[in-house]
Structure formats: C-alpha cells, structure tokens
Amino acid sequence: MCDEHYEEDLKNYAPHLGVTRRQFGVASVGAMALLLPAVANAQAVTESEVTVKTPDGNADCYFVHPATGQHPGVLIWPDILGLRPAFRQMGKRLAQQGYSVLVVNPFYRGAKAPVVPAGATFGPETQKIVMPLAKALTPTTHVTDAKAFIAWLDTQAPVSKTRKMGTMGYCMGGPITMRTAAAVPDRVGAGASFHGGGLVTPAPDSPHLLVSTMKVSYLIAIAENDDQRAPTEKDVLKDTFAKAKMPAEIEVYAGAAHGWCPPDSAVYNEPQAEKAWSRMLAIFGKALA
C-alpha cells in the first residue's frame, strides 16, 4: 500500500537499482523526471494549467494534448504524492503518443499542487502532509470527481467525442480508475492500474466488485512486494474479470517494488516501468481505436 512499508522497501529494493539511500533523499524531482525515455516520432503537443469545476470546488489540473486533431481522452490519477513535475512529464509523454490527457490534483479540496516539495520521498515528514489529504477522499468523492473530470474532457476540442476514453492511476489512483470506469461506463473503454493499492478489500464497496458494471479493457500491473503481502488478490481480480467476460491483463512485475513506475520514485525501475507503459499503450491503442 501507499502508506506502509516505505523503509522496508528502500532496504530491500534500493541496492538492486544501483542507487544509494542518500541519493534517493537528495535527488530532485526534475532530475529524476529526465530519466523517462524519449518518445519515438513524438507528436508536438500543447500544454496548459486548467481549472475543473467539481461538486466540491475547483480542481487544479494539467491538460496536455497533440497540437492538432482530436484524440482519445485519458484521465490520470497520480499516486499519493499528488500532481507534480514527474506526473506532468508522464502526461506529456502520453500526449506525444496521441492522447488528450488530463492529470488531476486529487487533493484540490485541501491544497493546490504540488502538495510536497521537489525531491520529496514518502518519509515521515511527507506522510504528515499527504496522509490527511488522502484520508479525506472517499469512494463518493472518487465518483463525483471522476464524473466531473470526464465531463470536462468531453467539452474540450482536442478530445474525440466518437472514441472512448482511458483512465490510469498509480498507488491510491489505482482503485480510483476502477470507480471511474464504473461511474461513466459508456465513456471509459480502457483502464490501467500501476501498483494500485486497495483494488480488493473485504468492504462491500471494494473496487473489484464494480467490474461487472464496467465496459473496459484493463491492465493491472502489480508490484512484486505488493503481491507478496497479498498473494491472493491477483487471483481474485483474474476471476472477477473472467466472470464479467471483461478483458484484463493482470501481472506481477518481478523485481518491482510498490511505486516503481513514476520516474521520481525512490524505487523507480525503468525496465519494468517501460514494460508496464508499453502494455498500457497496447491495450489503450486497441480499446480506444
């Protein structure tokens, strides 16, 4: 999960990545973001800071899209550190590959982005900032936000109205993608969860119970250490998608620790992050065609 095992993961996974603990602590977000590989045949893009009105206020977001034409919309839910340079870089990279992308600040009710300083890792001081913001979010806010963000995308000229949208999320954003897909099933045709936490819970509102109400193709990329802590969740997810006759690629990424995908993460694993990204592009390319 996003809020647990941070010290354990650094001890177990950092040495294998060839970076010291101290380097993790002092690396800047901007420098880490440069690790993202360049996009071949990248499209020119237009980017802007935007405000999206929701039932609970005004959400500050980042919108980026190809400079010309209409393209499938994609809604990105960041991890628990929120909207920051690394996620702008990821959104821009996706836009360069032919999508109109909205990266949201999930914590807009409490603070504008970024909510953590550049280079922050998920240590005790950062947790003091983000945990109250994260705990203020609920399944209800996930749904009302998702509907507002999808509706906003549908008002934008660079977003195709004839092609379905995608949604992708990291860490705490993983389950929000599932609630998004269930909340707007006629618009969302593809989803991707990267090291998502809480996809399967004992609660009656567990995200996995919504699968039968979706109309999506899904990628669920699971960290190796998350799977070790909850080894039955992948099987529950596979069974749930199969019973719903919904296509889903559900895989444990060997050697990848929780949080391995964002380039500013302390446990960023480029080969496995690129594998997950390429699988997402393949699924989105087919489902949103």
Angle at 156 between CA 153 and CA 158, to 5 degrees: 105
- Count of CA atoms in the C-beta half-sphere (13 A) of 191: 35
Strands 57-66 and 100-104: antiparallel
Closest Cα to residue 96, out of 48, 49, 44, 47? 44
Given this model, what pLDDT does residue 3 score? 47
pLDDT band at 15 (very low <50, low <70, confident <90, very high): very low
Cβ within 8 Å of residue 92, ≥6 positions away: 45, 47, 64, 101
> Using H for helix, E for strand and C for coil, what is the string for 87-115?
HHHHHHHHHHCCCEEEEECCCCCCCCCCC
**How confident is the model at residue 118, as a pLDDT?**
86
pLDDT in tens, 72-108: 999 999 999 999 999 999 999 999 999 999 999 999 9
State phi, psi for 70 to the nearest 5 degrees. Answer: -115, 140
Q: What count of other Cβ atoms lies within 10 Å of the Cβ of residue 183? A: 20
Residues of the chain by 3-state class (helix, strand, coil), percent to 5: 40, 20, 40
113 vs 2 pLDDT, higher one: 113
Q: Quick one: average pLDDT of 164-187?
A: 98
Whole-angstrom distance, CA of residue 251 vs CA of residue 244: 18
- The pLDDT of residue 6 is above 80: no
Structure tokens at 118: 């550049």
Q: What pLDDT was estimated at residue 2?
A: 57
pLDDT at res. 19: 41
Lowest mean pLDDT among 12-16, 109-113, 222-226: 12-16
In sequence order, the 6+-apart residues with CB closer than 8 A to the CB of 175 are 142, 169, 193, 196, 197, 198, 199, 207
| The predicted structure's pLDDT at residue 11 | 52
Characterize the bridge pairing of strands 165-170 and 217-223. Answer: unpaired
pLDDT, residue 130, reads 97
Residue 9 banded pLDDT, cuts 50, 70, 90: low
CB 97 within 8 A of CB 281: yes
Residue type at 160 in one-letter notation: S
* pLDDT higher than threshold 70 for residue 8: no
Retrieve residue 66's tokens.
């190809």
* 112-167 pLDDT, tens digit each: 999 999 888 889 999 999 999 999 999 999 999 999 999 999 999 999 999 999 99
Q: What is the pLDDT of residue 62?
A: 98
pLDDT at position 31: 40
> What is the 8-class DSSP label of residue 43?
P
* Residue-wise pLDDT tens digits, 211-265: 999 999 999 999 999 999 999 999 999 999 999 999 999 999 999 999 999 999 9
Q: At 170, list the tokens.
A: 């990291």
Residue 33 pLDDT: 42
User: Considering the domain 6-199+216-287 in this protein, what is its CATH number?
Assistant: 3.40.50.1820
Express each pLDDT in 29-60 by its tens digit.
Answer: 344 444 699 999 999 999 999 999 999 999 99
Angle CA 15–234–254, to nearest 5:
25
Nearest to 219 by CA among 157, 277, 151: 277
